[in-house]
Structures are given as structure tokens and as C-alpha cells.
Amino acid sequence: MTTPDRVLVVAFRKAAVQRVNSYLDYLLSRGVPVTVLVADGQGWKQAPRFDPRAEVLSLADRENRQPFVWTYTMLVERGPGGLFRRLGRAPGPIGGAGRRLGRLHVKAVRKIRKWFFWRGYQAVRGHSLRRIALRRLEPLRLDGVRRVVVADTAAVPFGWTLARRRPGLEVTRAMDVSAFEPLPVTDPAPELGFDPAAAERPYAQV
């Protein structure tokens, strides 16, 4: 039996990971090769990992270098946080003050990120990621892709543009498995879960 054409899944929000993993398990267990394009640069700390049997390509580094994201991160989070950590290592009252300021900074950053950064960035994130992803189509090897599944709303602008540029490519939001039902299970997921070392491997940056 010939290997089925690859499926590309585009997931730009961490809320989609669990649903995507269920879809991946069905396809990968039946020998269908799957590539996941993920934007895990912002808001993905402590997010679940994708099925390690899939090829996962990440836009995280590219997203983090976007001017708005980089400026916010340096001026509000990393810059002051680094300064307070250095002060906290100093002896005496200066060190104590640095540690107190560091704790206050961590609390303030949580609120700033939630109520200000994300409220502004979420409105444009999908379009920003669309531009980034469209510049990196080569690693996706679209000529060998059978179907593109857009897993969340943040990925819709990229999917919509991809469908316009490649009218012969099936682009859908539906995680439909009906076309793969005739395929036998050849690589079932391990009963005790995946190898932690494999699951912790960093995603390939594109």
C-alpha cells in the first residue's frame, strides 16, 4: 500500500492542541504523515505538547522578533526583570530591595500582559502570523500535501490566503477522518504514553 499524501495542520493557539492531538492520533496511527505548523511564541508556556510522531514546525522565533512583540518583551518584561534579578544578587539592603521589586514586577507583568498586551495583540496576531507563514512556505513542502486543516481562528487568515493562492489545494477547518477510515492501524499510540524525552524535543524553527 502506498503512503498517503501528507496532511498539514495549522495551529496558532494553544487551546487547539488537545483537539489537534486527537486528530493526529487517528491519522498517524494509520500511517498518514502529518506536519503541524505552530505559532508557539506567545502565550504557550505550560502548553501541552503535540504528538511527537508528527513533524512540528514552529514560527515562534519569527513571531518573537516582530517589532511590536520584541519591543514589548524587552521594555516591559525582560529588561526590567533582568535588572531586578541582578540587583537581587547584590548583598545587603540593595539585594533585598531588588528581590522585592522583582516580585512586584512579576505580578505587574501578569496583569499588563493579560489586560493590555494581549488585548491589543490578539486583534492583529492572525494577520501578522499570516505574513510570517507565507514567507516560509518552502519548509511546508505543499506539493506533497493532500489537505490543509486550519485548527483555530488565529490561523484562518493564513488558511484563507493559502486557499486563494493554491486553488487546487483543499483547505478546511474540519478535522474530518472519513477519507482515512479504510486505512488499517499500523502505528498505535503507546498505551503508557509517549517517551518524555521525545516529547520534550524542541520544535523545528522555520
Which whole number is the average pLDDT over 185-195?
78
Q: What is the mean pLDDT of the chain?
A: 89
pTM of the model: 0.85
Q: Going by DSSP bridges, is the β-strand pair 145-150/55-58 parallel, antiparallel, or unpaired?
A: unpaired
**Range list of β-strands (E), the chain:** 6-11, 34-38, 55-58, 145-150, 170-172, 204-205
Q: Which three cell numbers stand for residue 101?
A: 521589586
117-146 exposure pattern, b = at least 16 Cβ within 10 A, e = fewer: beeebeeebbebbbebbeeeeeebebeebe
Q: Which three cell numbers stand for residue 2?
A: 502506498
19 band by pLDDT with thresholds 50, 70 and 90? very high
Nearest Cα neighbor of 180 from 39, 71, 31 is 31
Residue with cell 489537505: 147
Which whole number is the average pLDDT over 77-104?
87
Environment class of residue 61 by beta-carbon count within 10 Å: exposed (0-12), middle (13-18) or buried (19+)?
exposed
Is 16 strand, coil or helix?
helix
pLDDT digits (tens, 9 = 90+) for 39-75: 998 878 788 899 999 999 999 999 999 888 888 888 8
Q: CA 63, CA 70: separation in Å to the nearest integer? A: 9
The pLDDT of residue 197:
65
As a whole-number percent, the residues of the chain with pLDDT over 90 amount to 56
Residue with cell 524535543: 201
Q: Which three cell numbers stand for residue 131?
A: 505574513
1 band by pLDDT with thresholds 50, 70 and 90? very low
